């Protein structure tokens, strides 16, 4: 493996995606859709092997650097969605009008003055 790029986050995601596509294809009864899912799974496995064994480390690093911010946004979206679902009865979530940060407020009736810890902006919300 000397001089080869190796395994990174993008390779891990493509390998997991190929595994998921392979499992989903087992439950699809339409032959055309099953073949498409299997081919996509094989393409992702092939790309993973290609990227792992590539000698062009600079290009593979650039690809991974493009992937990381996208992955972070998707991961944060699912984290916030899970947290909203988990805290649904006890808290409300609002976006700061200034910086668009997600703010969590206890679900107590009345008018609340909310201060954003990120930018310091204060605004009022009424909870019914």
Question: Interior CA angle at 70 toward 95 and 37, to 5°?
Answer: 120
Q: In this structure, are residues 54 and 1 in contact, taking their beta carbons and an 8 Å threshold?
A: no
Q: How confident is the model at residue 127 (pLDDT cuts 50, 70, 90)?
A: confident
Whether residue 22 is found in the same domain as residue 36 = yes
DSSP element (H, E) containing 115? strand 110-115
The tens digit of pLDDT for each residue in 44-85 reads 999 999 999 999 999 999 999 999 999 999 999 999 899 989
Tokens of 67: 């992937």
pLDDT of the residue at 90: 92
Q: Is the pLDDT of residue 18 over 90?
A: yes
pLDDT of the residue at 1: 75
Whether residue 43 is found in the same domain as residue 23 = yes
Q: How many domains does the chain have?
A: 2
Q: How confident is the model at residue 128 (pLDDT cuts 50, 70, 90)?
A: confident
Separation CA 87–CA 93 (nearest Å): 9
Whether residue 107 is found in the same domain as residue 77 = no
Whether residue 65 is found in the same domain as residue 122 = no
pTM: 0.69
Structural domain boundaries enclosing 4: 1-86
Separation CA 4–CA 52 (nearest Å): 7
pLDDT of the residue at 2: 83
Q: How confident is the model at residue 25 (pLDDT cuts 50, 70, 90)?
A: very high
In the predicted model, what is the mean pLDDT of the chain? 93
Whether residue 82 is found in the same domain as residue 101 = no
Whether residue 49 is found in the same domain as residue 15 = yes
DSSP code of 55?
Answer: S
Whether residue 18 is found in the same domain as residue 80 = yes
């Amino acid at each position: 493996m000397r001089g080869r790029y190796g395994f990174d986050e993008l390779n891990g995601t493509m390998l997991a995606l190929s595994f998921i596509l392979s499992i989903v294809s087992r439950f699809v009864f339409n032959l055309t859709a099953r073949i498409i899912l299997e081919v996509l799974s094989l393409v992702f496995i092939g790309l993973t092997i290609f990227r792992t064994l590539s000698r062009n480390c600079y290009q593979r690093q650039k690809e991974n650097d493009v992937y990381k911010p996208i992955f972070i946004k998707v991961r944060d979206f699912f984290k916030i969605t899970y947290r909203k679902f988990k805290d649904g009865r006890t808290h409300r979530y609002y976006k700061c009008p200034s910086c668009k940060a997600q703010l969590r407020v206890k679900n107590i009736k009345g008018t609340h003055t909310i201060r954003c810890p990120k930018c310091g902006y204060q605004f009022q919300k009424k909870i019914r």
